[in-house]
Structure 1
């Protein structure tokens, strides 16, 4: 539905009708309700009419999403929806998704800065704060951001607070993490095995899947466990040792990087043992996402660390290819000390910042507060009775309309609330048979989160890429047996010398001020 801007007379008439009637519709965000008509058209917010009319320019990453014919970033019903409910005139600019951060640098160097810029890059954010190019937003959040304060947790605000002032309004990650274990139950049944719980039970299932012909075709053509390049898809395995790669964790009052802890060495030793016994996919170090998924879909692998949405991807393709294939989620493997875990996401997905030249930080906060609160449900899900409907108490998505309106999510994702119930509705609407919310809940129960919540430190900017490359090289060679497990100690020494100690000092300086 293409909602045009109404003339003043029409606005007056509409408000009169709204005051005389009661409209029932789905609410938005975590606060308040956004009324909509039976055709999905949103009504004008009376709160928006009380606020001063202002104009703002906004730079967002459209992610390459397409608009329907006749629409663009400045001509579509979802932008109209925001305008009409905030009394703002909003001009959007979407630089190309490829090279987006470079485009932001060009914009910042120009003499014509917008009022709002969205970035995914924490280092970019910190750099421009230190240059004095961004303005603090505390005053305006306190005045115009009640939903922002309600729907964004304290830990996230800490991440965007520098020298005691808030310099960005964060968008939250919608999921607590990504990976959980899935297994072919039909393979377990054929081999007379129970779903594994401990790491040693996992090892026995991995051995059986590699050696005991779980698919019953009489060929030695299955893998015990499948991984991906750069030692990826192992989060639940190393979580059994209580750690996750690259994360900071507290030890004796100090933050230390989990990649250099003895527990990481134990996890690598476990994986190296699987490799030595020929229980892993022999080509795992070459597996990119496409061929990783193909091996699952084609019946080569029956146990792997799945992304929470893989039930709609390679697992679905597997069951389509082989109707006998039955996949079930597993408990996270419990390690030698009973620990379980998987990679937890950081809280923040992106940063909304206001250049110091902007005269309208109040209007920016007004817009973001609406998107994060009252407007979030519509921006995430689409207009009711157009993109989705309620049937027998369940939300059902019209996928053709969902795809046609997918551009709306650029707006919704710009300042996503934390743990929004609308996210659960969205996942269920994609198909209850995919167990997406159950997968997310399982991950959330054991997700290991980073104890460092600050913006990247200067030393991180200098050394992180090199240290990550070195880590991938050492870990890969250790697992495949090109280096002995004790080479891990050499890695730790090199990590510290090549910038790790400098990073650690900066991380702990932050920790001393914020713990």
Structure 2
């Protein structure tokens, strides 16, 4: 109940900010301090007040220690690095914050070093944790090693941060709230990156076919593409539906997977789900999965799926196959359209359309909802200024979006160099963004295509408008070499359907790891991957699924299920 109470308070505040955000004139943080764009007339006078405002500058310098995930090719301007760059300069100049990076390590090694730091009690002041290491966050909380950020968030989170968090309707704050206390700040995992069906529209038109709605429609179109060869590839060289060998049945937003077929049947692969009685189960072990596997195995046997998919194991092979002009359909997120421009350059006639299909018997396109978080930022208990991490996030966001005077100019050398912002920001990749930004962008492009005086809203940046202009340039010129090709197909064609009335997202009961995940998950994933390949290709009949379910439970799945059940129950 404490969890629900604090969330209600935080969400109420965020909702008020969201409702009145348009009054400020931009989407930045609201604070008055030298050199920062002013949104309100009130002047901050005392050190205490400045400490408790989104961008108030500390009277005396403060230092915050941290660790970072290193990147192989950050592309900094010459002479710059993760420990010497304009963001750190501005944090010092605008907020009087010095950042001391204690160590850097790549992904896996970062987790190992952080685990050792936790075990020794020697953790940095500011701690970044990825979604897959949620168990580490819980360990820190259970051992009373983290600062309570509830008041810091309420006082120092800027308007933009609170408004974006409100768009998640509490789902991003809930897993970070323990005993009524907010213990970490979430990085956004954007919504609407689920798979849709991508189809060669020019092939549909050439054969006089309608866009599909049902699974039967998809199967019939695949048959027509294969039999009639609209791409003129030669007999036996046209593939109905492309499929990835590494994960033909993935989780959320898999490239060239088969999840939409399973979701249509109320099967939820690789997701922790909860039944009507509150009992947690792993979606890949449900009886509905067995039914779905029979369907896709039959499709493979008929030749509707890529018969050679099992050998396409190298990164980029499926994309290259699609770009070879041999593939009629594939399931994938909106962003995969960016990769189709190479095909268009070789085959200018190639057109794609994104479709919400297959629909279920009620005319709904069911899909998984993503984790509401991508990562978390927390503070060591005992650090004197826990609010500092929120101020840092405010400044980084406002700089990047051009909400701060001089921010765009300061960031230009880094943009020109192609600097990865994750390497540049001391907070890492804590993204602050609206849950529905992807379909919203698609709809705004649609408006701009109709009226080029359309300006968007108070959160629209010049970078957004540049994307719109590129999309419009392609729509008018149809130049396949245009920078607007990807903007048009990905951000417009692929995005405007994502929040259509027939599209229904289904959330998981739990998105994270438990204390035993590191002991069992890798082996369980391998077991699951092998099961899919064997059944889809016909090496094993669908009855092999029952053996998989039993083995999965014995090899640790039952233990993970119990741990997830306990966490889910504790959050109610």
How many residue pairs match? The answer is: 472
**Partner residue, 2:90:** 81
1:243-392 equivalence runs, <5 A: 243-254=267-278, 255-288=280-313, 289-313=315-339, 315-336=340-361, 338-356=363-381, 358-371=383-396, 374-375=398-399, 377-378=401-402, 383-384=407-408
Q: CA deviation at 1:188?
A: 1.5
Query: 1:511 aligned to 2:526?
Result: no
Instruction: Measure the CA separation in 1 of the matches of 2:354 and 2:318.
Output: 18
Is the contact made by 2:128 and 2:428 (CA closer than 8 Å) also made in structure 1? no
Q: CA deviation at 1:295?
A: 0.3
> Could you report, residue by residue, the CA deviation over 1:320-359 in whole angstroms, capped at 9, with x for unpaired residues?
1111211111222113454423343201111112223533
Is the contact made by 1:27 and 1:33 (CA closer than 8 Å) also made in structure 2? no
Instruction: Measure the CA separation in 2 of the matches of 1:404 and 1:486.
Output: 55
Instruction: Measure the CA separation in 2 of the matches of 1:192 and 1:414.
Output: 46
**Partner residue, 1:151:** 164
Q: Alignment partner of 1:60: what SS?
A: strand
Q: Alignment partner of 1:155: what SS?
A: coil
Structure 2, unaligned stretches of length 5 or more? Answer: 1-23, 45-49, 250-256, 442-460, 472-484
Instruction: Measure the CA separation in 2 of the matches of 1:487 and 1:284.
Output: 21
> Could you report, residue by residue, the CA deviation over 1:98-143 in whole angstroms, capped at 9, with x for unpaired residues?
5322333455467864210212122232233334433332243233
Q: CA deviation at 1:224?
A: 0.9
Is the contact made by 1:160 and 1:166 (CA closer than 8 Å) also made in structure 2? yes
1:136 to 148, 151, 154: 148
**Partner residue, 2:105:** 96
Structure 1, unaligned stretches of length 5 or more? Answer: 1-24, 389-399
> Could you report, residue by residue, the CA deviation over 1:353-391 in whole angstroms, capped at 9, with x for unpaired residues?
22235333232333234445x4452499x9436878xxx
Q: Alignment partner of 1:181: what SS?
A: strand
Instruction: Measure the CA separation in 2 of the matches of 1:262 and 1:111.
Output: 45
Query: 1:168 aligned to 2:223?
Result: no
Q: TM-score, normalised to structure 1's length?
A: 0.80
**Partner residue, 2:222:** 206
Is the contact made by 2:400 and 2:411 (CA closer than 8 Å) also made in structure 1? no
2:523 to 463, 466, 470: 466
**Partner residue, 1:226:** 242
Please give the root-mean-square deviation of Cα atoms over the aligned residues, in Å.
Answer: 3.4
Of 267-276 and 84-93, more deviation after overlay is shown by 84-93
Q: CA deviation at 1:52?
A: 4.2
Q: Alignment partner of 2:290: what SS?
A: helix
> Could you report, residue by residue, the CA deviation over 1:170-206 in whole angstroms, capped at 9, with x for unpaired residues?
1111343242211111212222211111110001111
**Pair 1:454–1:472, CA change in 2 (3 A):** closer
Q: CA deviation at 1:471?
A: 1.4
> Could you report, residue by residue, the CA deviation over 1:405-435 in whole angstroms, capped at 9, with x for unpaired residues?
5333443863322417887455664542434
Q: CA deviation at 1:277?
A: 0.7
**Pair 1:437–1:449, CA change in 2 (3 A):** farther
1:442 to 489, 497, 519: 497
**Partner residue, 1:480:** 537
**Partner residue, 1:5:** none
Q: CA deviation at 1:93?
A: 5.2
Q: TM-score, normalised to structure 2's length?
A: 0.73
Of 173-182 and 429-438, more deviation after overlay is shown by 429-438
Query: 1:122 aligned to 2:134?
Result: yes
**Partner residue, 1:494:** 551
**Pair 1:326–1:408, CA change in 2 (3 A):** same
Query: 1:235 aligned to 2:259?
Result: yes
Instruction: Measure the CA separation in 1 of the matches of 2:101 and 2:403.
Output: 16
Instruction: Measure the CA separation in 2 of the matches of 1:136 and 1:477.
Output: 49
1:408 to 414, 418, 421: 421
**Pair 1:338–1:264, CA change in 2 (3 A):** farther
